[in-house]
Structure 1
């Protein structure tokens, strides 16, 4: 991973965002992560893209990884994240890019596509289909069990109390183990999401202890405040932001 360069760019409101990049030229692919992820989730794809002649760029959203937190994390929105994407391109003097987005990064990409269509070369979505802003996501969640992880994490304070019992590395370990399973992570009425996983569960085959340490260190730095607001506090999903 030593070939990947790292820099900080100043974006809206003076926030400094961490950006990882590799490759040169005007064929640019911008990679948008989900949760519990950071730029590092794209490390293998970045190397492959650079080898194929593309310039690959992967930012950490505000409040994630090495990027500055938003001034008011409780008010962070998808619109902020989309505007930051445009600001990253501006700072790097890139007029247009293809966007590849995973998980809730698709929500960021969709708003970027709607608000900055002239900056978009094309878009690929992974895990979640392109969904225009509106009540669709909330309507789907309302059909799911009360103990479904996303519904639990929507409740202000509940995930904070659940996560707060553990260090960041343990939280990320438990989440990745849950997400790698074949069942939807759903807790009983008297159970919390973190309790669905034992004390030291085995990692999925595609995640090493070294990888987990990277995620854990960066979430220890950033905390989960912004990550729980965007994307899980779904009141904002019913609007453009």
Structure 2
């Protein structure tokens, strides 16, 4: 990990943190999900750098070591797209591969639609590219669905506030590593779904958790709750949203996301190819939502094969 370098980029009036390793003209930018920060890509960054690529992993605004926006409650996915554009321009990088996880698929998809000349290809993990319309999954799941709970201003803040930050991250990692959608009962909060004695996933160490905990101690959860959860109704006016670049989707067969209403069918039926015609899908049979941390060697091989094929 010591070989990964860190710097700050001035972008849209904020100091945004990026982690970086490797050199050369072929650049790979990693976009994290929640509750992640740049560190989630530690295995992939080293692997692509060793293969001759330059790897860059930003913390989104309000995440990790990046500055919080002046009004976190107004942050949007459009801001993340604008920040990515500004980071690339600040680094004089014209064209990149995007590798994204979880909700990182949305800014990656939007960036690919709005700036196709800047993207050579994309790899997405856990969440496919979808039409850039407001999310509606919460309408078809019980009130205790974690997204519905976190959409409600103050609800997650009160729930998380009962625990220290490290425990909140620990619980979310445990919940999101399961194959069932996190849904609380009427008399429960989302944090109540994890017993204090529950061990971390075998592939996520106490040292990893300490790093996440320290970064969320700095940033808090305010911006992280706004994007993605409280921004899911954002509207994008993009006619004929079709991503023409090559895209690889890597899914764990045990990822709870596949149980979102319609999601499994959207992927397996080929409907996803309406949005992403040049799509390849790879499944890892035992993979969960954090497949890139759970099975880094397998995921790295898939990513490197994709990069090499399209470089």
Would you call these one fold, judging by a TM-score over 0.5? yes
Q: How do residues 218-237 of structure 1 correspond to structure 2 at under 5 angstroms? A: 218-237=215-234
CA distance in 2, matches of 1:97, 1:203: 34
Give yes or no for contact 1:111–1:240 (8 Å, CA) kept in 2. no
CA distance in 2, matches of 1:227, 1:126: 19
Shift of 1:132: 2.3
Aligned to 1:7: 7
Aligned to 2:127: 128
Shift of 1:200: 3.7
TM-score for the superposition, normalised by structure 2: 0.74
CA distance in 2, matches of 1:30, 1:111: 15
CA distance in 2, matches of 1:125, 1:103: 8
CA-based RMSD: 1.3
Shift of 1:239: 4.0
Give the gaps of 5 or more residues in structure 1.
none
Q: How do residues 117-156 of structure 1 correspond to structure 2 at under 5 angstroms? A: 117-135=116-134, 137-138=135-136, 140-156=137-153
CA distance in 2, matches of 1:191, 1:240: 38
Aligned to 2:196: 199
1:185 is aligned to 2:197: no
Shift of 1:145: 1.5
Give yes or no for contact 1:77–1:236 (8 Å, CA) kept in 2. no
CA distance in 2, matches of 1:181, 1:98: 29
Aligned length in residues: 238
Aligned to 1:53: 52
1:215 is aligned to 2:212: yes
CA distance in 2, matches of 1:154, 1:53: 41
TM-score for the superposition, normalised by structure 1: 0.95
CA distance in 2, matches of 1:239, 1:200: 43
Shift of 1:235: 4.6
Give the gaps of 5 or more residues in structure 2.
239-311
Shift of 1:240: 5.5
1:80 is aligned to 2:103: no
1:161 is aligned to 2:158: yes
Q: Aligned to 2:129, what secondary structure does the other structure show? A: coil
Shift of 1:82: 0.7
Aligned to 1:92: 91
Give yes or no for contact 1:62–1:69 (8 Å, CA) kept in 2. yes
Aligned to 1:112: 111
CA distance in 1, matches of 2:138, 2:231: 9
CA distance in 1, matches of 2:142, 2:218: 32
